Amino acid sequence: MPSGYVGADVGCGNGKYIGVNPKLFMVGSDRSSNLISICGERGHEAMVCDGLSLPYRPQFFDFAISIAVIHHFINPERRTAAINEILRVVRVGGRVLIFVWALEQNGKREFEKDVQDVFVPWATPGQASKTKKSTSVKSPNPNSRPQGVKRKDRLKAKADQVRQDQQNEDQAQDSPDGQRSNAGESDITTSMAQLDLTGEEASKSSAKSQSDISSAVQETVVTADINGSASVQEALEPSSSLAPSPKVAPVYNRYYHLFRKGELEDLVKETKIANVVQQGYDRDNWWCIVEKTSN
């Protein structure tokens, strides 16, 4: 990007990409006021806002980025709407970089094969660092199937609010490289460590020390259709059925749609006002660079 370009980071989280190039001026927005507070402390320009309704004048920006955001929207309509809203505020000829989690990923995260809609526990930094020490991510216990939750009881239209402020204490943000970066030091592997740690392992851990780990880990695999009419709010509630102690900090689940190869490009094509000019796969993510062709 040329010096002096102005860009929007939509779903900027803690603002890790905002200051990357000091020759650019970037404005961040995120649904989570806690994450935006971190941006503010870092001196970044940022505001609290929902990605489906941005408060910017049309075509103001030279470019925009959407890093690990679109996969949190609950259905294809909302995912397309999110892309459309970004394109609305970018000028014709402007470019948008989009990263989403891939279904085909074979990194550290473990997902049920071919299941595209999943809940992933979002650990608070405190829990995460403790978990990290006690669990090997590379050798998950295959028998430890996390407790499933019937999706129709769980899923509602507000899935894309998964990143909202209920994740109190949270300071983390997903990043395309699979690392979880935040004001602290936890990374995404710790959240997967929690995912793997259930049943017997969890009991052992909690026997060692109740605060050692949250055994209230819960993975919700969404296998049925996504009609956007149930409540994800519920999925955000701390799971308590396995909790050995009320002292255990809650674990919140976040909704992800894991993108198949080509799916992101198809969404972009649906907007009819942008072309994919570059695309690829990078460490568990599909990404593409999109150029706006008309208003």
Strands 274-282 and 285-292: antiparallel
Rule CB under 8 A: is residue 33 a binding residue for other proteins? yes
Least distance in angstroms from the C-beta of 280 to other proteins: 29
Nearer to other proteins, 2 or 142 (CB): 2
Nearer to other proteins, 28 or 121 (CB): 28
Quick check: 226 and 233 in contact, CB under 8 A? no
Least distance in angstroms from the C-beta of 4 to other proteins: 3
Rule CB under 8 A: is residue 4 a binding residue for other proteins? yes
Nearer to other proteins, 31 or 109 (CB): 31
Q: Crossing angle of helices 188-196/125-134, nearest 10°?
A: 60
Rule CB under 8 A: is residue 84 a binding residue for other proteins? no
Q: Which stretch binds other proteins (CB under 8 A): 20-28, 102-110, 190-198, 201-209?
A: 20-28
Rule CB under 8 A: is residue 183 a binding residue for other proteins? no
Quick check: 63 and 23 in contact, CB under 8 A? no
Taking the C-alpha atoms of residue 75 and residue 275, their distance in angstroms, rounded to an integer, is 22
Q: Which residues pair with 99 in a beta bridge?
A: 67, 287
Among 19, 40, 199, 244, binds other proteins (CB under 8 A): 40
Rule CB under 8 A: is residue 49 a binding residue for other proteins? yes
Taking the C-alpha atoms of residue 204 and residue 1, their distance in angstroms, rounded to an integer, is 52
Quick check: 290 and 96 in contact, CB under 8 A? yes
Nearer to other proteins, 23 or 138 (CB): 23
Least distance in angstroms from the C-beta of 13 to other proteins: 14
Residue 15 CB contacts under 8 Å (≥ 6 apart), including other chains: 9, 28, 35, 38, 39, 42, 44, 46
Among 19, 52, 110, 275, binds other proteins (CB under 8 A): 52
Please report the DSSP string for 119-149 in residue order: EEEE--HHHHHHHHHH--SSS--TT-PPPP-
Interface ranges with other proteins (CB under 8 A): 2-6, 22-23, 25, 27, 29, 31, 33, 36-37, 39-40, 45-50, 52-57, 60, 62
